[in-house]
Amino acid sequence: MLVVDCCIRGEDSATRRYYQAYLKTVPQTETELVELEKLGLEPLNRETLARRDQLCARRAFDHGMFRLARQFRDADEILIAAPFWDLSFPSLLKVYLEHVSVSGLTFGYTQDGRCVGHCKAGKLLYFSTCGGFAGENLGFAYVKALAAMLGIERSEAYVLEGLDLDPARREAVLEAGIAALNTRESSTGAG
Ligand SMILES: Cc1cc2nc3c(=O)[nH]c(=O)nc-3n(C[C@H](O)[C@H](O)[C@H](O)COP(=O)(O)O)c2cc1C
């Protein structure tokens, strides 16, 4: 399982504690961890996009620029963890997704113009925690749509809400969500 950690607050992150507790419930899983904060990723700019387009045109997908995309394509299962920020997720996750969405590598087009995903994962898990109540989680909705484009048919959300409503209860809400991991498949409900 490829674990993509976008938990900006590191060891203080509730989202990190939540997904790490989940991983303990599936101990046999071999994980490969990518901590986005440690990668120094930059958004694509005019220069790097032109370089990427040249490499794609030559199908030079063994280039280092595509390392994250190859890793994403080859994973059997993917877990993405990111806190709920500004109705979705931190921009660092968008930058990562920009780097893994590569035409010709993680997705492509048929001759009649249909988009086809090339990623091998059968399932993507999305972990998040929210200060309030998000309603429809636009972060998950976006990740699920992009995953489908990349060929990953199933996406499941594990979202805990209401963590910041009463600071004195934040820990209790998180612990209740962690305790519930053993008894439910996935959740978009309140903690
Ligand atoms: C920059 C920033 C933006 C946030 N935006 C929202 C928001 O739009 N809605 C909300 O309910 N909570 C929002 N929150 C609160 C977080 O979702 C909440 O505290 C969450 O549990 C943080 O997860 P973490 O401990 O993994 O960092 C925001 C927090 C930060 C730091």
Q: Is the CB of 135 under 6 A from ligand 1?
A: no
Tell me the domains of the chain and their CATH numbers: 2-180 (3.40.50.360)
CA-based R_g, the chain, Å: 17
pLDDT on residue 28: 84
Q: At what angle do helices 91-100 and 138-149 cross, to 10 degrees?
A: 0
Q: Over its length of 191 residues, how does the chain's per-residue pLDDT go in tens digits?
A: 999 999 999 999 999 999 999 999 998 889 999 999 999 999 999 999 999 999 999 999 999 999 999 999 999 999 999 999 999 999 999 999 999 999 999 999 999 999 999 999 999 999 999 999 988 899 999 999 999 999 999 999 999 999 999 999 999 999 999 999 988 655 654 43
Instruction: Take atom 15 of ligand 1 and give the residue whose Cα is closest.
Output: 131
Q: At what angle do helices 170-180 and 14-25 cross, to 10 degrees?
A: 20
pLDDT on residue 190: 40
93 alpha carbon – ligand 1 mean position (Å) = 14
CB 141 within 8 A of CB 170: no
pLDDT on residue 24: 93
Spatial distance between the Cα atoms of 139 and 126, rounded to a whole number of angstroms: 9
